[in-house]
Amino acid sequence: MASTSTNLERTDKIVLAATQLFSRQGYNGTSTREIARLADVSENTLFRHFERKEDLFWATLRSHSSWLAFCSQSLESITAFDAPEVALPKILELLTDTANFRPELLRLIAVAYLELQWKAEAFCQEQLSPLCVTIRKYLAMCVKAGKVRDFEPTMITAALMTMVLLQPGLSRLIDGENPTYSDGRDAARAYTKFWLEVLAPRLAPHPRLVARTVGSAAG
C-alpha cells in the first residue's frame, strides 16, 4: 500500500515538472533529464513511470483536460430557453477563467499542435471539441429563434473563443504592463457587454427612411 502511494506521488511530481517545462520550453526543447531533475527523481525512475517522453507529454496534457470536461458539463444546462443575456456571461466567464487560471493547458495544446500535429488533432477532437460544439449549438439555436443576429454559428463560436482565450497575451502586447482588465471578472463582464452588443438583433429600417435615403443618393 505504501509503495503504491509512493509511486502515485512520484508520478504526480513528474507530471507537475513536465507541465512546467513543456509549457515553457515546448516538446522538443525539453529533455527527460530536465524533467527528472525538476521532479527530484532519477531519469531511470522517470522511465519506469513513462516508457517514452511522448507518453509523458500526453499524460501531462490529459492531466489538465479534466477542466475542459468540467466546462462542457457546466454549459450543458444551457437550453434554447436561456436568453443570451443569461447564457453568454456563463460562457464567457468559463472561457476567461480558462485563459487566466489554466494558461498551462492552452500552452500545452499549442505545443501539441506545433510539434505533435496529427495526434494533437485527435486529442482536441476528444477533449476540446465537445466544449466548442456545446457553444455552437447554443448560438445556432439563438440564431434560429431570432435572439441574436443571423451570423454563421461556427464563425461566431470561433471568434468568441479565440478572442477570450488569447486575451491575456494580447492585452500584454497592446497595453504593456498595464492591462486594461487585470481582473478576470472585469474581463468577462467587458466581453459580455461587447458580444451582446455585436449579436443583438438589428431592427429593419422603416420603408420610408429607406426611400428617403435612396432618393437622396439618387439626387
Render pLDDT for 113-128 as a digit per residue (tens, 0 to 9).
999 988 898 899 999 9
Tell me the percentage of the chain whose pLDDT exceeds 90.
58
Residues 183, 63: Cα–Cα separation, whole Å: 26
Is residue 198 within 8 Å of 142, Cβ to Cβ?
Answer: no
Render pLDDT for 33-88 as a digit per residue (tens, 0 to 9).
999 999 999 999 999 999 999 999 999 999 988 899 889 888 888 776 789 999 99
**Between 1.10.287.990, 3.90.105.10, 1.10.357.10, 2.60.120.260, what CATH number should domain 65-199 receive?**
1.10.357.10
Residue in this structure with the C-alpha cell 461587447, named with its chain if needed: 194
Residues 51, 32: Cα–Cα separation, whole Å: 11
pTM for this prediction: 0.80
Is residue 196 within 8 Å of 97, Cβ to Cβ?
Answer: no
Q: Which long-range contacts (CB under 8 A, 24 or more apart) does 39-46 make?
A: 39/10, 39/13, 39/14, 40/13, 41/10, 41/13, 41/14, 45/10, 46/14
Least confident of 26-35, 52-61, 186-195: 186-195
Is residue 126 within 8 Å of 69, Cβ to Cβ?
Answer: no
CATH 1.10.8.620 for domain 2-62, yes or no, is no
Q: Where are the domains of the chain?
A: 2-62, 65-199
